[in-house]
Structure 1
């Protein structure tokens, strides 16, 4: 790949320093002074790059690898070509993530659009809004009456911060995002076009048609949460919609009113979570899954992609399928279905 000027290489980190920073052991102590400048996939890694490998199935990629170092665990280490230093760790994926953040810190959150950090005179800021020292506001952002924004936070171009919203310190509210009726913690990243705090979908059928139910709750987003581009989080109807500390939301997710998501969850793109669902800590939900309303998903649960979760899921379970069921049952059902199909075809039957 040609030189990427959007994310230029780092000035250089010594391998021994990188090993300490990511919690790895440098197996080749004579290479401690070699410099790492960037991250790369294994197959095209060059001098100055660090890469990682998780599976022996990809061992062929080492044939073209010329990396300065490879991050891996003990099962992969014997496959690394001689002469390439090894950064040994039990958690290579997490270690590589840490390395990437050290080498390319500007890629960790949406960057400022302008070279000068300031409060633009082209932004509309209500005189009653309170901004701590060091807040940046880009052109055409709007900050409503009584809003409070903490030190080190950047409000992107065209973003909207509604009246009385509270945003903590060191946050990034990206271009075109809107934050209404919300309390936002510290170090929160909201990507472009996200919609936070609009009213939830609530209507009561009546003789005159659908009667709108008022939504008078809030959205509470705790510290270190990341909200992907185009994701929508509705405010509560009468209670609050809550996103727990450290949770990461992918692009284009819909979170309905009164949903409560625990700490350190990971939710992939196109998931829809209906109203008043409670999700525990450390839950992982695969892309395009649909989560029914008024159910509870326990802590530590894993939901496979494209699942339909209709009822409560006990803590620690792995579920998949439509309707979602324990993974062992889902895989058994898939196997039986495949066997029936094969038998049908072998008997000369035709698909309808």
Structure 2
């Protein structure tokens, strides 16, 4: 018996879902249906290959950083503690969305319960905020290390690092709470089909049949006041750092010191550029193709967890050296 092609089964499923929803009204859907990347359903299998490879790299790379820092006492310092926080955040961020995306691409598993949808939304928003806060902490660490090197160990003690980490977690966790609470209170009487691969905040609330300006305004407030403040703080820190670098006596010293900041600047760009683009396009880019918006969002979900281990692992001399020692020792 010949098997029906995947793209035809997806088309039949969506046609059935749409016809069902056109004749059914509901205010609290028990499940949502994720479409993956709308318009590119026929290419989902092929798209899943690089996505799966990037997810594997993110998992392996971030666990490697955690393992090396835990194993080597010489790496037990503020910079590496912040790097471990970033690795944990990346692992949670990518695992919150990528397994479900791959299950959509591979097994056509599109349903997600309303509660699971809100939980996924909360994890993505809170941990993206944590990632931003950790990058601010790392910028502060670079500022102290370069501008006040003799006071670095007395300013950034283990207790201070722990308090900074706790403040980052509490800030992000609390500020992300209104998103699922506001989303839960809206009535949904149009459709429960989400044109996305995960339960993004705006992708879900746009399905509500009521005025959602409160959700939209709070999202913009969070984006510009919290992450905007983080960007300003990072910019001020690196302005001071660059001034200190240019005051160094030799060109080699300036290049060496600036090289330690390049990795952090790359990580900052990988996080903030796709995040700001996707947030603004979802609210104001009404003529932007939907599949383009979803792909931009996937960059925000995938690229930082993949790049951070490469940037900090390969470019950081201490981690690179310990990794090479570990591999050489195992090889012998």
How does the TM-score come out when normalised to structure 2? 0.23
Structure with greater contact order relative to length (CA < 8 Å, sep ≥ 6): 2
Question: Which structure: greater strand fraction?
Answer: 1
Max radius of gyration: which structure?
A: 1
Question: Which structure: greater helix fraction?
Answer: 2
